[in-house]
Amino acid sequence: MAVAALLGVFSGMAAEPALLPNEQAFAFSARGVDERTVEARFVIADGYYLYRDRLKFAVEPGTLGWPALPPGKVKEDQFFGKVETYRNQLVVKLPLDGSYRSAVAR
C-alpha cells in the first residue's frame, strides 16, 4: 500500500540561509493500525512547522475518509495571516473507506 502525503510545507527559519531538505525537516512514516485505519506520522525538525490547512492525504488503491486532525498552534504568518501550525510531531489517524477494504480482502 502506498501512502502519499501531499502537503504545503514551509520553514519557520526564514532567515536561515540553508534549509533542510523536506525529507529531513518533515520525516514521514505510515503504518496500518487495522484494516480500517492508517496512521501517518511526521517528525518535524526544530524550527520548522507544517500548516494545518495545507495538509492533504491520499492512499493507493482506494480512498480515505475525512482525517481527524488535532488542533494546531495558532500563528500569525507573514504570508498567510492567522494559521494553525504543527511543530515537533504530528500523528494523524486516516480512516480507509469500504472500497479499499474490499480490495484488500480479495
> How is domain 1-7+24-87 classified at the architecture level of CATH?
Sandwich (2.60)
d(CA 76, CA 84): 9
pTM value is: 0.69
Of 28-42, 52-66, 92-106, highest mean pLDDT = 28-42
Residue 82 pLDDT class (50, 70, 90 cuts) = very high
For residue 71, is pLDDT > 50? yes
Q: Tell which residue, 54, 59, 42, has the closest CA to residue 94.
A: 59
pLDDT at 94 over 60: yes
- The residue whose grid cell reads 480512516 is 95
Q: How far apart are CA 87 and CA 42, in angstroms?
A: 9
Name the pairing type of β-strands 48-60 and 73-77. Answer: unpaired
Range 1-26 average pLDDT = 63
Q: Which of 57, 27, 31, 55 is nearest to 43 (CA)?
A: 27
* pLDDT band at 22; cut points 50, 70, 90: very high
